[in-house]
Amino acid sequence: MKSFDLSGRAALVTGSTRGIGRGIADGLIESGAQVLFHGRTPPPDLPADATFLNLNLMQPDAPEELMAQAFESAPQLDILVCNAGSFFDVPFLEMTHKEYSRTMDLNVRAPFFLVRAFAKKLVEEKRGGAIVIVGSTNGFQAEHDSVAYDTSKGALVMLTKSSALDLAKHNIRVNCLAPGLIRTPLTNQWIETNKEQREHYEKQTPLGRIGDIEDCAGAAVFLVSNAAAYITGHVLVVDGGLTLPQIGAL
């Protein structure tokens, strides 16, 4: 389908050295887009002609600097995927200001100002674009010992909706991808060493399996493509139906 073709377009994917971010980056390349990779250390298996940008998004000015470098590397840039994020939680009553700030700086402040810097440049150039913010099902379903993380992912849902509303008049679409449990380098060890919990997740998931990176990649490609040209402010859940039932399987 031509509406999924991203030829001639360019994307910045933050946190794209591995896991969901890398899968999304590879999916965008497969669909024809030029992709700018971002992370702290370039992986050895990046495409030979790939551009890699190394900035620590925890730093206050890093989002604006990253966007400046991205537009310098690819002036036609019109896709932004805010994927970089992490989990730093401890039990709620043990949470410190420092740990809370680490979560909010990376998971909320960085994407907020990335979206702002990206949109500002496109508006100046009178161009449209597409943004995908990678959230989580934790943005609307709580998990034990995950209060700061859940709060940050809930904030991304409203960042998506509010920025989509403000940027629609500039033909800049903003959508959110909300994965459930996905097999990544960070989750694989836990998944494979906790057989009973893995089987519990599989039983509670209507589609009967844990998600793969490719499940997120395909959804992200759709959201930035012309196939989704009339979709903005939407949260696309990629969880195999895990969040559907009020009461899980017995």
Q: How far is the C-alpha of 4 from the C-alpha of 228, rounded, in Å?
A: 9
Contact 74, 36 (CB under 8 A): yes
Indicate the DSSP class of residue 201.
H
Distance in angstroms (rounded) separating the CA atoms of residues 196 and 94: 28
Q: How far is CA 62 from CA 19, 52, 59, 236, 247, in A?
A: 22, 15, 5, 28, 43
Q: What distance in Å separates the CA atoms of residue 132 and residue 136, rounded to the nearest whole number?
A: 12
Strand order in the sheet with 34-39: 51-54, 34-39, 10-13, 77-82, 129-134, 172-179, 235-238
Query: Nearest CA to 184 among 150, 205, 220, 210?
Result: 210
Quick one: DSSP state of residue 41? S
Radius of gyration of the chain (CA): 18
Residues carrying an active site annotation:
136, 149, 153
Taking the C-alpha atoms of residue 217 and residue 71, their distance in angstroms, rounded to an integer, is 23
